[in-house]
Amino acid sequence: MLSDTKILPGEFEYFQPQTLTDALALLAQWGSRAKVLAGGTDLIVKMKRLLVEPECLVSVQDLPELHGIRQEQLDGQPADEVAGGASLRRGGFETRPPDSAWQHALVIGAATPLSLVEKDPLVRLHYSALYEALRSMAAIAARNMGSIGGNLANASPAADTAPPLIVLDAVLRLASARGGRTAPVETFFRGPGFSLLDVDELIVEILLPPPRPQEGSAFLKLGRVSCDISKINAAAWFQREGGLCLDCRIAFGSVAPMPLRTPALENLLVGAEIGERLLHQVSSQAGAAIFPIDDVRSSSQYRRQVAPVLLEEALRTAWIRTGGVL
């Protein structure tokens, strides 16, 4: 019961480094006393509420590496190896087909505002789930400020960009003064507010795999009103061959301590002939595949009730986007 959101009460030093090297040096120097300032839509609120009281803010607004969207050639190397980081840990399951080494990637600077990512024609064309998630998020002003990397780094279980990036198999390039590494978005989250990021580390870029033929994705969300954090969200991605599901990924937000991929559901679809009935059957098991809680936005029961509805709609839309029929 102690806050004053009219002001930013804490005192701190502010740095606006011009190079990534300088930024990483500052983070190394200040360690846990520093916070990275991107759009500020989460961090400033936390500071106003005295939930965090950093002694130093390192702004990433002038770092060119963290801004903009571009295509990058990867010469057939898997993204993680190109980035020179640790090998990808896939949490005990491997869904990427062996021949999927990326030729190139769509690289999104982590500090790119959500609204700019949303406006990118390639994102809209090839990464439907991400596009739909971005459009569903917050108010326009908050999307102009908030960055895609910030949405992830905040590690909220409700982060709307997380499930789409998980199903789209996106990979993060992280950097600290100690070096760089990569991590699939799927492995990035560790719990509410916790991620793989070390205190001295930044998300530099988000890599999206090259568009593949006969793939499709979709994202759906329920909030209390149109402008809200998700009560629950769901993202689905399919790769199709004829009437068969070649590959599939499903993820939910706001149903577990972190954004949640549900391999058990995917396994029911991979290799199967896709039809209305199967999608319904698989979706109907969604309630059992998630771990929701009661909170201020909704209830555990409700989330279990609507998870199948969201999932079925996401699966249907994603499948149709592959060119498949139902």
Partner 1 sequence: MKKRTITLIVNGETFELTVVPNELLLNVLRDRLHLTGTKYGCGVGECGSCTVLLNGKATLACMTLVVSVDGKEITTVEGLGRYDALHPLQQAFLDHSAVQCGFCTPGVLVTAKALLDENPHPSEEEIRQYLRGNLCRCTGYTSIVRAIEAVSKEAGF
Partner 2 sequence: MSDSSFLSIGTDTPRKDGVARVTGAEQYACDIDLPGMWIAVTLRSPHPHAKILSVDTAAACALGAVVLTADDVPEVYYNERGVSVPAKTYRDRLVLPRKARHVGEAILAVAAPTEELAFQALRAIKVEYQLLPPVLDAEQAMLPQSAPLYDRVFFGEDHLEVKANIACEREIHVGDAQAALASSDFVFEETFQLQRIYHHQMDTKTAVVKPEPDGGLTVWCTTQSIHNVRIQLGRIFGIPLSKINVKKTALGGSFGSSIQMNSVIPIAAALALKAKRPVKLVSSREDDAYDHTNYPGRIQLKVGVNRDMSITAAECHFLVDIGAHQIQAYPLLGSTAGWLVSLYHWKNVDYWAKAVYTNKVPACAMQGYGNPQMNFAVESMVEIIAERCGFDPIAFRLRNYVGTGDEFWGQGPTVRSIIKSCGVEESLRIGAEKIGWSERGQPSQKTGRLRRGIGLGRGFHTSGAGAPQPAEVIDYSSATVKINEDGSVDLMHPLMDLGGGANDAHAKIVAETLQVPMALVNLSPVDTRTTGYDVCTHASRGIYVGGAAALQAAREVKGKLLDFAGRLLNEFPEHLELVFDPQDQQTYVQTRSIQPETGLPATELPATELPATELPEARQLAAARQPPAARQPPAARQPPAARQPPAGSPAKRITLAEAAKMGMVNGWGTLIATGSLRQKNCPPSFVTNFIEVEVDTWTGVVRILRAVCLADCGTPINPALAAGQLEGSLARYGGYALGEATEHRPDTGALFCEGFITDNKIFTTCEMPREDNLQTYFTHTYEPSGPYGAKGLGEAAGNSVASAVANAVHNAIGLRFTSLPITPERILAALASKEGLPC
276-283 and 300-321 helices, crossing angle to 10°: 150
Q: Least distance to partner 2 from the beta carbon of 223, Å?
A: 8
Q: Least distance to partner 2 from the beta carbon of 305, Å?
A: 5
Tokens for 99, please give them. 């021949």
Residue 15 vs residues 35, 37, 62, 150, 174: alpha-carbon distances, Å: 11, 9, 11, 17, 20
Residue 299 near which of partner 2, partner 1, none (CB within 5-8 Å, type-dependent): partner 2
Residue 92 near which of partner 1, partner 2, none (CB within 5-8 Å, type-dependent): none
Write out the H or E segment, with its range, that includes residue 203: strand 202-208
Contacts of 279 (CB under 8 A, 6+ apart): 312, 315, 316, 319, 326
Q: Least distance to partner 2 from the beta carbon of 135, Å?
A: 12
Q: Least distance to partner 2 from the beta carbon of 263, Å?
A: 25
Tell me whether residue 208 or residue 220 sits nearer to partner 2 (CB atom). Answer: 220
Tell me whether residue 168 or residue 222 sits nearer to partner 1 (CB atom). Answer: 222
Tell me whether residue 119 or residue 212 sits nearer to partner 1 (CB atom). Answer: 119
3-state secondary structure of 64: helix
Q: Least distance to partner 2 from the beta carbon of 229, Å?
A: 8
Q: Least distance to partner 1 from the beta carbon of 233, Å?
A: 17
Tell me whether residue 160 or residue 169 sits nearer to partner 1 (CB atom). Answer: 160
Shortest CA distance to 34 belongs to which of 45, 21, 47? 47
Tell me whether residue 55 or residue 62 sits nearer to partner 2 (CB atom). Answer: 55
In sign, the C-alpha dihedral spanning 71, 72, 73, 74 is negative
* Integer Cα distance of 249 and 253 in angstroms: 14
Q: Least distance to partner 1 from the beta carbon of 143, Å?
A: 9
* Integer Cα distance of 124 and 117 in angstroms: 9
Tell me whether residue 20 or residue 309 sits nearer to partner 2 (CB atom). Answer: 309
Q: Least distance to partner 2 from the beta carbon of 68, Å?
A: 30
* Integer Cα distance of 231 and 252 in angstroms: 11
Tell me whether residue 41 or residue 322 sits nearer to partner 1 (CB atom). Answer: 41
Residue 2 near which of partner 2, partner 1, none (CB within 5-8 Å, type-dependent): partner 2
Interface with partner 1 by CB under 8 A: which residues?
A: 5-14, 16, 37, 40-41, 44-45, 48-49, 57, 59, 61, 115, 138-142, 144-145, 225-227
Task: Return the CA Rg of the chain.
Answer: 19
Interface with partner 2 by CB under 8 A: which residues?
A: 1-7, 9, 45, 49, 222, 224-229, 296-299, 301-302, 305-306, 309
Tell me whether residue 114 or residue 234 sits nearer to partner 2 (CB atom). Answer: 234
Residue 230 C-beta-side C-alpha neighbours within 13 Å: 32
- The three-state (H, E, C) secondary structure of 92-115, written as one string: CCCCCCCCCCCCEEEEEECCCEHH
Tokens for 204, please give them. 């530099």
